[in-house]
Chain A
Amino acid sequence: MATETASKILPAGAAAPDFSLHSTPDQLVSLSDFRGAPLILAFYPADWSPVCGDQMALYNEVLAEFHKFKAAIVGISVDGSWCHAAFALDRKLHFPLLSDFEPKGGVARKYGAYRDSDGVTERALFVIDPKGTISWSYLSPVGVNPGADGILDALEALTSKK
């Protein structure tokens, strides 16, 4: 699987491509909204994965640790905003899920995080610095929830750099 997907996601140092996506059926969220603070972009394949503490639920539990670094987090998948709304309500998520729905996977493609073969986003993580540059990125095998340790290490590195 490494050869299939290796190093196609945007690396550290690249400018984070802008986006404007629906977080709810009537609300748009843009990259520029997060300028001035670190942002975690978490691409994931789909809502409703059938495990406790799936990737989004885990981040929900770890929000306080992210906030220590003043970082915000958004999840992104190709699910529609109504689906996201139901999922977020069911899992009691306290951060936005964005719909990369139309054109499907358009933002994920810009970040190199789209799986053409499956029509879903990769499990890919990006930490974007307050100026909009990618400071860390990580592509996980699609079946493996990457956890939060890499994100926290990256946020720590970002803070110590200042």
Chain B
Amino acid sequence: MSATASAKLKPPVGANDHIEGPAKAPVTLLEYGDYECPYCGEAYPIVKALQERLGDQVRLVFRNFPLAEAHPHAEHAAEAAEAAAAQGKFWEMHDLLYENQDALEDQDLVQYAEALKLDVPRFVKEMKAGAHLERVRADFSSGVRSGVNGTPTFFINGARHDGPFDLRSLLAAIEEAA
């Protein structure tokens, strides 16, 4: 019984996911992340560097894993990214949130929506209604069932990456998987 020894992604990457990079890329790097987590903030430029280095050899997928007890702004920030996704700007919002981790109050989120030229009334309405909360929670549950054990947790081609997440370690793990 070693269910956790080889934690596997459940469900696999699908049409509902936020994906950056070609569908045919040999490597899929999936991150379960929390916008208020400082370690995810550390990982953010590393993932960018990795994408730059590997180009169309990698596709990046992001799923929400807000540690809402530890990080009071994390869940709303995740909802904001989903609200932006509903208007076709998920990655733009994702980047803004990680670049402004210390400013994640609700009014900050609205400012980011303005900066991205979103339909702001729609954004605010959806945030107030919690329109994307279910999606965020579904991501979280999928993470729990996939063996996510903290943030960030990376999966490389569906298998949990247990080592450190500096650029060199991630590149080595990716090379091994590809």
Residues of A within 8 A of B (CB): 12, 51-55, 57-58, 60-62, 65, 91-92, 94, 136-138, 140, 144-150, 152-154
Contact = CB atoms under 8 A, between A and B. Distances in A.
B150 A149 contact: no
Please provide the 4 A-B residue pairs with the shortest distance between their CB atoms, ordered closest to farther: A53-B150, A147-B149, A145-B149, A150-B3
Contacts of B34: 52-53
Contacts, number: 86
Given A62-B144, A145-B149, A149-B144, A53 B67 contact: yes
B6 to A, nearest CB: 11
Interface of B: 1-4, 7, 34, 37-39, 65, 67-71, 140-141, 144-151, 162
Contacts of A52: 34, 37-39, 67, 70-71, 150-151
A140 B6 CA distance: 11
Main secondary structure of the interface of B (DSSP, over half): loop
B7 to A, nearest CB: 6
A149 B7 contact: yes
B41 to A, nearest CB: 10
Q: Which one of A55, A62, A138, A149 has the highest number of Cβ atoms from chain B below 10 Å of its Cβ? A: A149
A29 B106 CA distance: 41
B38 A12 contact: no
A146 B149 contact: yes
A149 B146 contact: yes
B70 A57 contact: yes
B70 A53 contact: yes
Nearest to A49: B150
B4 A140 contact: yes
Contacts of A147: 4, 7, 144, 147-149
Given A53-B34, A138-B4, A153-B3, A61 B149 contact: no
